[in-house]
Structure 1
Amino acid sequence: MNIVILGAFGHLGKAVYQLLEPLPDVNLTLFGREKENIEVAPTTKVIFGDATNTEDLERVLQGQDIVFSTLGPFHVETFATPLVETMEKLGVKRLFWTTQFQIRQETVTDENIELAKVFGFDEETERTYVANQQLGAKIIEESSLDYTLLMPHFFKYDNTIEKAILQDDDETVKGDPISIYSLAIVLANLVLQPDRYSRKGVIISASK
């Protein structure tokens, strides 16, 4: 199975990579902007480039079976549009697109605004972020791709082990923010089961 991670050098991309890399029969390619001191296995292919550039995307997507994206968090339409265009052109169909658990809500709730402040986001930033994530998800959903919208709760930058809750995208979220380690475990497992959640969204949170 050939898997490419887009936005691979951010916190979430690296966490998922570390879980997938040791597995047999998984060939990984990492794609992102150039960073220093990147430690990867010798069997991992690393390509640096611009995810808004279709020529760079063609270089990295050729021959891939699964695309896992952590691109963002803002201006995601500038990533979603060229990604859809390039995947459709190359015939690469399976996409896991990381977005946000509030994208199905008509408005950002007062409760989530207060929670966002705990994570360092003011009200304007949170509303802008959710609206932008909704736009990116719409571009993906209107494509011909076999996508899954990954819709995690706020995630904590720690390695706490938590029980995850997975829900259909039309449900009200039941859980709480999730640690990045626990989220990465869920995402790695979903990527390895590409028949699940085809052309659907999945909400991911931590058990209360």
Structure 2
Amino acid sequence: MNIALLGATGRVGQAFIKEAQKHGHMEIFALVRSAGTVLPIPKKQIITGNARRREDVSRLISKADTVVSCLGTDGDDTLSTAMTHIIDSMKRHHVQRLITIGTAGILQSRLMPDQYRFESAESKRKSTRAAKEHARVYEMLLAEDLDWTIICPTYLPDGDAAGVYRFEQDRLPEDGAEITVGDTAHFLYRELISPQFVRKRVGLAY
């Protein structure tokens, strides 16, 4: 399996590389902004570019049969802009599978099932900017004929993978308060190898 990885230098991206390398049967090609970026993958598989540039994303995805995005919102519209390029490049290069990291805010609220969590009293966050950007990506993917999965962790402290956690389709597991970066990467790898949530969101927490 050849993976096109965006967001490789972020916490989840780095943890995913570490998790994947434990098993050693996939090649990871990573898009990074700086030519001097050091990652624990062969240098020839590190591509310098920007996720906001269509040609850079296309160059990355041309090398892969699966796309993994661990991109964050970056304080602007980087996430939705990058997703536009990801979708376009996946179609161009006939790549069907995409797993992306979202946020628990775009899961359905238990209190108000017709609303996202970030729109309801269920969410404790005061700012909704990042959640709105993630919701935009979810709505973009709903309109596409791709085999996507959005993994939606709640609060993400640092920590290694224990491999024991809860997950639930479309909702955050009840009373879920956190999930480590390591276990988020563990679940990402698990979904990559054994898909359970194709064209679904999945909430992740302890």
Query: Shorter-normalised TM-score: what interval?
Result: 0.7 to 0.9
Q: Give the TM-score taking structure 1 as reference length.
A: 0.84
In 1, the alpha carbon distance for the partners of 2:129 and 2:58 equals 30
- TM superposition shift of 1:141: 1.7
1:129 matched residue in structure 2: 130
Q: Which residue of 2 aligns with 1:69?
A: 69
Aligned to 1:99: 102
Taking the TM superposition and a 5 Å limit, the aligned residue runs for 1:90-169 are: 90-103=93-106, 104-105=108-109, 106=115, 107-110=118-121, 112-113=123-124, 116=125, 123=126, 126-159=127-160, 161=162, 163-169=164-170
CA-to-aligned-CA distance 1:97-148 (integer Å, 9 cap, x gap):
11111213424344532xx4xxxxxx1xx31111111111111221121111
Tell me the distance in 2 between the aligned counterparts of 1:37 and 1:51: 15
Aligned to 2:29: 29
- 1:89 and 2:100 correspond: no
Letter matched to residue 112 of structure 1: S
Structure 1 residue 53 and structure 2 residue 64: aligned? Answer: no
The answer to whether the Cα contact below 8 Å between 1:20 and 1:26 also exists between their aligned partners in 2 is yes
Letter of the 1:80 partner, please give it: M
- Which whole-Å deviations, capped at 9, do the CAs of 1:12-44 have from their partners, x for residues lacking one? 100100111242321111112116451414387
What letter matches 2:21 in structure 1?
A: E
Pairing 1:78–2:81 present: yes
Separation in structure 2 between the aligned mates of residue 91 and residue 201 of structure 1, nearest angstrom: 23
SS in 2 for 1:186: helix
Counterparts of 1:178 and 1:108, CA distance in 2:
22
Instruction: Determine the C-alpha separation between the residues in 2 that align with 1:146 and 1:68.
Output: 12
Q: Distance in 1 between matches of 2:178 and 2:119?
A: 16
TM-score by length of 2: 0.85
Q: Equivalent residue for 2:201? A: 201
Map Cα deviations across residues 42-79 of structure 1 (whole Å, 9 max, x no partner). 38711111112111111111141110001122422111
What fraction of aligned residue pairs are identical, expressed as a percent?
Answer: 22
| Distance change in 2, residues 1:99/1:35 (3 Å) | farther
Matched pairs, number: 194
Aligned residue runs from structure 1 range 163-182, under 5 A? 163-169=164-170, 171-174=171-174, 175-182=176-183
User: Does the C-alpha gap of structure 1 residues 39 and 6 become closer, same or farther in structure 2, counting only changes over 3 Å?
Assistant: closer
CA distance in 2, matches of 1:89, 1:37: 28
SS at match of 2:34: coil
Q: Encode CA deviations 1:163-208: one digit per residue, 9 max, x unaligned.
A: 3111011x35322211111211111221222x321111111111xx
Structure 2: segments with no counterpart, 5+ residues: 110-114
CA RMSD of aligned residues (A): 2.1
> Which amino acid is the alignment partner of residue 96 of structure 2?
K
